[in-house]
Protein backbone atom coordinates (compact mmCIF):
# COMPACT_ATOMS: atom_id res chain seq x y z
CA UNK A 1 0.00 0.00 0.00
CA UNK A 2 1.18 3.51 -0.77
CA UNK A 3 2.85 5.16 2.23
CA UNK A 4 1.84 8.70 3.08
CA UNK A 5 4.16 11.33 4.55
CA UNK A 6 3.54 15.02 4.98
CA UNK A 7 4.24 18.39 6.53
CA UNK A 8 1.97 20.29 8.92
CA UNK A 9 2.26 24.09 8.99
CA UNK A 10 0.31 27.31 8.75
CA UNK A 11 0.87 28.59 6.12
CA UNK A 12 2.47 25.66 4.33
CA UNK A 13 1.67 26.08 0.62
CA UNK A 14 5.18 27.37 -0.18
CA UNK A 15 7.04 24.60 1.64
CA UNK A 16 9.77 22.98 -0.46
CA UNK A 17 9.53 19.71 1.48
CA UNK A 18 6.92 18.04 -0.80
CA UNK A 19 9.00 18.60 -3.94
CA UNK A 20 12.17 17.43 -2.15
CA UNK A 21 10.74 14.23 -0.63
CA UNK A 22 8.64 13.26 -3.64
CA UNK A 23 11.76 13.51 -5.82
CA UNK A 24 13.53 11.18 -3.37
CA UNK A 25 10.67 8.63 -3.40
CA UNK A 26 10.64 8.67 -7.19
CA UNK A 27 14.41 8.24 -7.41
CA UNK A 28 14.31 5.20 -5.10
CA UNK A 29 11.18 3.74 -6.75
CA UNK A 30 9.27 3.86 -3.48
CA UNK A 31 5.46 3.67 -3.45
CA UNK A 32 5.07 6.79 -1.29
CA UNK A 33 3.80 10.34 -1.45
CA UNK A 34 4.52 13.48 0.61
CA UNK A 35 1.76 16.09 1.03
CA UNK A 36 1.36 19.51 2.67
CA UNK A 37 -1.42 19.94 5.27
CA UNK A 38 -2.44 23.36 6.55
CA UNK A 39 -3.11 22.89 10.28
CA UNK A 40 -3.70 25.58 12.91
CA UNK A 41 -2.20 25.50 16.43
CA UNK A 42 -5.62 24.53 17.82
CA UNK A 43 -5.93 21.56 15.49
CA UNK A 44 -2.40 20.24 15.96
CA UNK A 45 -3.13 17.58 18.59
CA UNK A 46 -6.04 16.18 16.57
CA UNK A 47 -3.93 16.27 13.42
CA UNK A 48 -1.07 14.25 14.97
CA UNK A 49 -3.46 11.74 16.60
CA UNK A 50 -5.46 11.49 13.38
CA UNK A 51 -2.33 10.96 11.32
CA UNK A 52 -1.37 8.06 13.58
CA UNK A 53 -4.86 6.52 13.29
CA UNK A 54 -4.79 6.88 9.52
CA UNK A 55 -1.45 5.10 9.30
CA UNK A 56 0.49 8.09 8.02
CA UNK A 57 4.12 6.98 8.03
CA UNK A 58 5.87 10.20 9.06
CA UNK A 59 5.40 13.94 9.41
CA UNK A 60 7.38 17.13 9.41
CA UNK A 61 6.07 20.12 11.34
CA UNK A 62 6.98 23.66 10.50
CA UNK A 63 6.25 27.25 11.56
CA UNK A 64 4.33 27.97 13.80
CA UNK A 65 3.84 24.43 15.13
CA UNK A 66 7.36 23.25 16.01
CA UNK A 67 7.17 24.14 19.72
CA UNK A 68 3.62 23.01 20.39
CA UNK A 69 4.19 19.68 18.60
CA UNK A 70 6.57 18.74 21.40
CA UNK A 71 3.52 18.25 23.66
CA UNK A 72 2.17 15.39 21.58
CA UNK A 73 5.28 13.24 21.05
CA UNK A 74 8.04 11.49 22.97
CA UNK A 75 10.87 13.78 21.91
CA UNK A 76 14.54 12.80 21.89
CA UNK A 77 16.50 14.58 24.60
CA UNK A 78 18.19 17.26 22.50
CA UNK A 79 14.84 18.19 20.87
CA UNK A 80 13.33 18.56 24.35
CA UNK A 81 16.21 20.86 25.33
CA UNK A 82 15.76 22.89 22.12
CA UNK A 83 12.04 23.07 22.89
CA UNK A 84 10.94 22.27 19.33
CA UNK A 85 10.64 19.38 16.88
CA UNK A 86 10.33 19.27 13.12
CA UNK A 87 9.97 15.51 12.59
CA UNK A 88 7.46 12.96 13.87
CA UNK A 89 8.03 9.23 13.47
CA UNK A 90 5.07 6.86 13.95
CA UNK A 91 6.95 3.63 13.34
CA UNK A 92 7.05 2.51 16.98
CA UNK A 93 3.24 2.16 17.07
CA UNK A 94 3.09 3.74 20.55
CA UNK A 95 3.49 7.45 21.29
CA UNK A 96 4.98 9.12 18.20
CA UNK A 97 8.67 10.01 18.51
CA UNK A 98 9.82 13.61 17.86
CA UNK A 99 13.17 14.79 16.50
CA UNK A 100 14.72 18.12 15.56
CA UNK A 101 16.55 17.53 12.30
CA UNK A 102 17.17 21.28 11.71
CA UNK A 103 20.03 21.00 14.20
CA UNK A 104 21.26 17.74 12.67
CA UNK A 105 21.18 19.28 9.17
CA UNK A 106 23.11 22.40 10.16
CA UNK A 107 25.83 20.42 11.92
CA UNK A 108 26.27 18.20 8.86
CA UNK A 109 26.74 21.33 6.72
CA UNK A 110 29.28 22.78 9.14
CA UNK A 111 31.22 19.53 9.53
CA UNK A 112 31.47 19.20 5.74
CA UNK A 113 32.73 22.78 5.48
CA UNK A 114 34.94 23.10 8.55
CA UNK A 115 35.67 19.58 9.85
CA UNK A 116 36.06 19.38 13.62
CA UNK A 117 33.82 21.85 15.49
CA UNK A 118 35.27 21.30 18.97
CA UNK A 119 36.89 24.52 20.19
CA UNK A 120 35.76 26.56 17.16
CA UNK A 121 34.65 30.10 17.90
CA UNK A 122 31.17 30.55 16.39
CA UNK A 123 29.20 33.78 16.18
CA UNK A 124 25.52 33.14 15.45
CA UNK A 125 23.11 35.95 14.71
CA UNK A 126 19.53 35.22 15.81
CA UNK A 127 17.87 33.58 18.79
CA UNK A 128 14.71 32.19 17.15
CA UNK A 129 13.80 28.64 16.19
CA UNK A 130 16.64 28.07 13.72
CA UNK A 131 19.28 29.56 16.02
CA UNK A 132 18.08 27.43 18.93
CA UNK A 133 18.28 24.19 16.96
CA UNK A 134 21.77 25.04 15.67
CA UNK A 135 23.25 26.28 18.97
CA UNK A 136 22.17 23.25 21.04
CA UNK A 137 23.89 20.97 18.54
CA UNK A 138 26.99 23.23 18.38
CA UNK A 139 27.12 23.04 22.15
CA UNK A 140 27.03 19.23 22.01
CA UNK A 141 29.97 19.36 19.57
CA UNK A 142 32.04 21.51 21.94
CA UNK A 143 32.04 24.79 19.98
CA UNK A 144 32.37 28.14 21.78
CA UNK A 145 29.23 30.07 20.81
CA UNK A 146 28.40 33.78 20.93
CA UNK A 147 24.74 34.58 20.23
CA UNK A 148 24.00 38.03 18.81
CA UNK A 149 20.37 39.07 18.66
CA UNK A 150 18.33 42.24 18.11
CA UNK A 151 16.52 41.47 21.38
CA UNK A 152 19.58 40.84 23.53
CA UNK A 153 17.57 39.31 26.41
CA UNK A 154 16.45 36.54 24.09
CA UNK A 155 20.08 35.80 23.21
CA UNK A 156 21.02 35.80 26.90
CA UNK A 157 18.18 33.41 27.70
CA UNK A 158 19.36 30.98 25.02
CA UNK A 159 23.02 31.29 26.06
CA UNK A 160 22.11 30.48 29.66
CA UNK A 161 20.85 27.06 28.54
CA UNK A 162 24.14 26.15 26.83
CA UNK A 163 27.38 25.07 28.46
CA UNK A 164 29.81 27.42 26.67
CA UNK A 165 27.99 30.44 25.25
CA UNK A 166 27.53 34.16 25.76
CA UNK A 167 25.20 36.82 24.37
CA UNK A 168 25.55 40.24 22.71
CA UNK A 169 23.29 42.70 20.92
CA UNK A 170 23.56 43.87 17.33
CA UNK A 171 25.76 46.89 18.17
CA UNK A 172 29.45 47.73 17.80
CA UNK A 173 30.37 44.62 19.77
CA UNK A 174 29.14 42.52 16.85
CA UNK A 175 31.89 43.78 14.52
CA UNK A 176 34.57 43.04 17.11
CA UNK A 177 33.23 39.54 17.74
CA UNK A 178 33.08 38.66 14.04
CA UNK A 179 36.71 39.73 13.59
CA UNK A 180 37.81 37.12 16.15
CA UNK A 181 35.43 34.32 15.11
CA UNK A 182 36.11 31.22 12.99
CA UNK A 183 32.50 30.79 11.85
CA UNK A 184 29.65 33.26 11.29
CA UNK A 185 26.15 31.80 11.09
CA UNK A 186 23.27 34.05 10.12
CA UNK A 187 19.96 32.67 11.47
CA UNK A 188 17.48 35.55 11.28
CA UNK A 189 14.89 36.28 8.62
CA UNK A 190 16.78 39.40 7.45
CA UNK A 191 17.59 39.23 3.72
CA UNK A 192 14.82 36.74 2.97
CA UNK A 193 12.67 37.18 -0.14
CA UNK A 194 11.18 39.77 -0.79
CA UNK A 195 13.62 41.87 1.32
CA UNK A 196 16.66 40.72 -0.59
CA UNK A 197 18.74 43.90 -0.16
CA UNK A 198 18.92 43.65 3.61
CA UNK A 199 21.88 42.36 5.62
CA UNK A 200 23.02 42.73 9.22
CA UNK A 201 26.69 42.18 8.32
CA UNK A 202 28.69 43.96 5.61
CA UNK A 203 32.02 43.14 3.94
CA UNK A 204 34.04 45.47 6.18
CA UNK A 205 33.01 43.41 9.22
CA UNK A 206 34.34 40.08 7.86
CA UNK A 207 37.77 38.53 7.26
CA UNK A 208 38.79 36.08 4.48
CA UNK A 209 39.36 33.13 6.85
CA UNK A 210 35.86 33.37 8.29
CA UNK A 211 33.41 30.62 7.31
CA UNK A 212 30.11 32.30 6.45
CA UNK A 213 26.90 30.22 6.59
CA UNK A 214 23.54 31.85 5.92
CA UNK A 215 20.55 29.65 6.85
CA UNK A 216 18.30 31.75 4.59
CA UNK A 217 17.72 29.76 1.36
CA UNK A 218 15.44 32.12 -0.58
CA UNK A 219 17.24 33.78 -2.31
CA UNK A 220 19.99 31.18 -2.60
CA UNK A 221 22.62 33.96 -2.68
CA UNK A 222 21.64 36.49 -0.05
CA UNK A 223 23.03 40.00 0.30
CA UNK A 224 25.07 38.70 3.26
CA UNK A 225 26.73 36.07 1.05
CA UNK A 226 27.42 38.70 -1.64
CA UNK A 227 29.10 40.82 1.05
CA UNK A 228 31.11 37.78 2.15
CA UNK A 229 32.36 37.32 -1.43
CA UNK A 230 33.31 41.00 -1.52
CA UNK A 231 35.33 40.50 1.68
CA UNK A 232 37.26 37.65 0.02
CA UNK A 233 35.71 34.96 2.25
CA UNK A 234 36.77 31.56 0.91
CA UNK A 235 34.18 29.31 2.56
CA UNK A 236 30.61 30.45 1.92
CA UNK A 237 27.53 28.25 2.45
CA UNK A 238 23.88 29.02 1.70
CA UNK A 239 20.77 27.66 3.44
CA UNK A 240 19.85 25.12 0.74
CA UNK A 241 22.26 22.47 2.05
CA UNK A 242 20.80 22.74 5.57
CA UNK A 243 17.28 22.46 4.17
CA UNK A 244 18.26 19.37 2.20
CA UNK A 245 20.18 17.78 5.08
CA UNK A 246 17.36 18.29 7.57
CA UNK A 247 15.02 16.69 5.03
CA UNK A 248 17.47 13.86 4.41
CA UNK A 249 17.74 13.20 8.15
CA UNK A 250 13.93 12.99 8.45
CA UNK A 251 13.77 10.74 5.36
CA UNK A 252 16.33 8.37 6.86
CA UNK A 253 14.55 8.25 10.22
CA UNK A 254 11.24 7.35 8.56
CA UNK A 255 12.37 4.99 5.79
CA UNK A 256 15.76 3.64 6.97
CA UNK A 257 16.83 4.15 3.35
CA UNK A 258 19.88 6.14 2.21
CA UNK A 259 18.45 9.52 1.07
CA UNK A 260 19.39 10.51 -2.52
CA UNK A 261 20.91 13.86 -1.48
CA UNK A 262 21.84 15.11 -4.97
CA UNK A 263 18.32 14.47 -6.29
CA UNK A 264 16.75 16.20 -3.27
CA UNK A 265 19.06 19.20 -3.66
CA UNK A 266 18.31 19.50 -7.37
CA UNK A 267 14.55 19.39 -6.67
CA UNK A 268 14.93 22.25 -4.18
CA UNK A 269 17.22 24.41 -6.32
CA UNK A 270 14.99 23.88 -9.39
CA UNK A 271 11.93 24.92 -7.37
CA UNK A 272 13.71 27.99 -6.00
CA UNK A 273 14.90 28.98 -9.47
CA UNK A 274 11.26 28.93 -10.71
CA UNK A 275 10.04 30.96 -7.71
Ligand X SMILES: NC(=O)c1ccc[n+]([C@@H]2O[C@H](COP(=O)([O-])OP(=O)(O)OC[C@H]3O[C@@H](n4cnc5c(N)ncnc54)[C@H](OP(=O)(O)O)[C@@H]3O)[C@@H](O)[C@H]2O)c1
| One of 7, 8, 88, 187 touching ligand X (CB under 6 A) | 187
> Is 266 considered catalytic here?
no
Q: Out of 41, 151, 164, 180, which residue is the one contacting ligand X (CB under 6 A)?
A: 151
Stretch binding ligand X (CB under 6 A), from 11-19, 188-196, 203-211, 260-268? 188-196
Of the candidates 2, 3, 66, 241, the residue annotated as catalytic is: 66
Identify which of residues 181 and 188 has a Cβ nearer to ligand X in the complex: 188
Q: How far is the CB of 93 from ligand X (least distance, A)?
A: 30
CB nearer to ligand X: pick between 206 and 248: 248
Residues 108-137 that bind ligand X (CB under 6 A): 126-131
Q: x/- binding map, residues 216-255, to ligand X, per CB under 6 A?
A: xx---------------------x--xx--x---------
Question: By CB under 6 A, is residue 68 in contact with ligand X?
Answer: no
Question: Three-state SS across the chain?
Answer: CCEEEEEEECCCCCCCHHHHHHHHHHHCCCCEEEEEEECCHHHHHHHHHHHHHHCCCEEEECCCCCCHHHHHCEECHHHHHHCCCCEEECCCCCCCEEECHHHHHHHHHHHHHHCCCCCCEEEEECCCHHHHHHHHHHHHCCCEEEEECCCHHHHHHHHCCCCCEEEECCCHHHHHHHHCCCEEEECCCCCCCCCCCCCCCCHHHCCCCCEEEECCCCCCCCHHHHHHHHCCCCEEECHHHHHHHHHHHHHHHHHCCCCCHHHHHHHHHHHHHHC
Which residue's Cβ has the minimum distance to ligand X? Answer: 128
Q: Report the nearest approach of ligand X to the CB of residue 76 (Å).
A: 18
Nearer to ligand X, 120 or 132 (CB): 132
Q: Do 33 and 22 form a contact (C-beta atoms < 8 A)?
A: yes
For ligand X, the closer of residues 46 and 270 by Cβ is 270
Site residues (CB under 6 A) for ligand X, limited to 2-61: none
Q: Are strands 74-75 and 87-89 parallel, antiparallel or unpaired?
A: unpaired
**What residues are labeled active site?**
66
* Binding stretches for ligand X (CB under 6 A): 63, 102, 105, 126-131, 149-151, 154, 187-190, 192, 200, 215-217, 239, 242-243, 246
Amino acid sequence: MKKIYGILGDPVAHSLSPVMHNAAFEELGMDAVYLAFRVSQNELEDAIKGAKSLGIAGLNVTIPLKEKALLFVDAEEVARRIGAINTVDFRTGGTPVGYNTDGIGSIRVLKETVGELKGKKVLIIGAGGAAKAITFYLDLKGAKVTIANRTKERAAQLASKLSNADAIGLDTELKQQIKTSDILIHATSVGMHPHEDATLVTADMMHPDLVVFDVVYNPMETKLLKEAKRAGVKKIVNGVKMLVYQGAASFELWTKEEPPIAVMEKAVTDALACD
